[in-house]
């Protein structure tokens, strides 16, 4: 895998396993910074219902294999947050991951 297509630097976030004073598990902890990713727009749709407009953008992130990336992970690139839908380990070779994501913000 060439490093050229992975020109974006992202911050990987995984769900926090610790709870707050009410034992509510939530929030994300920063796991790794400086993860190189490639971003490719896959789909987009716009919906209109009850005088409101909503949009959803689907992207695919490509990165090198990491065992700590799961379907609950998030990537932050600049001001945009991508939520991983599932992890596709290309060819089960533990070299490249293709991550279908949706844009959260």
**Residue-wise pLDDT tens digits, 4-58:** 788 999 999 988 776 666 666 667 777 888 899 999 999 988 888 888 888 888 9
Contacts of 42 (CB under 8 A, 6+ apart): 58, 59, 60, 100
Single pTM value for the model: 0.82
Task: Write the CA distances from 103 to 29, 40, 44, 46, 57, integer angstroms.
Answer: 19, 12, 10, 13, 6
Assigned CATH for 8-19+26-103: 2.40.10.270
| Per-residue model confidence as pLDDT tens digits over 53-92 | 888 889 999 999 999 999 999 999 999 999 999 999 999 9
């Amino acid at each position: 895998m060439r490093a050229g297509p992975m020109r974006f630097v992202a911050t990987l976030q995984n769900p926090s396993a610790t709870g707050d004073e009410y034992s509510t598990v939530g929030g994300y902890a920063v796991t790794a910074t400086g993860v190189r990713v490639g971003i490719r727009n896959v789909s987009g749709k716009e919906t209109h219902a009850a005088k409101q407009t909503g949009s959803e953008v689907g992207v695919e992130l490509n990165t090198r294999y990491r065992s700590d990336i799961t379907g609950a992970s998030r990537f932050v690139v600049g001001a945009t947050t991508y939520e991983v839908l599932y992890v596709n380990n290309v060819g089960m070779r533990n070299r490249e991951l293709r991550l279908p994501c949706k844009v959260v913000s």
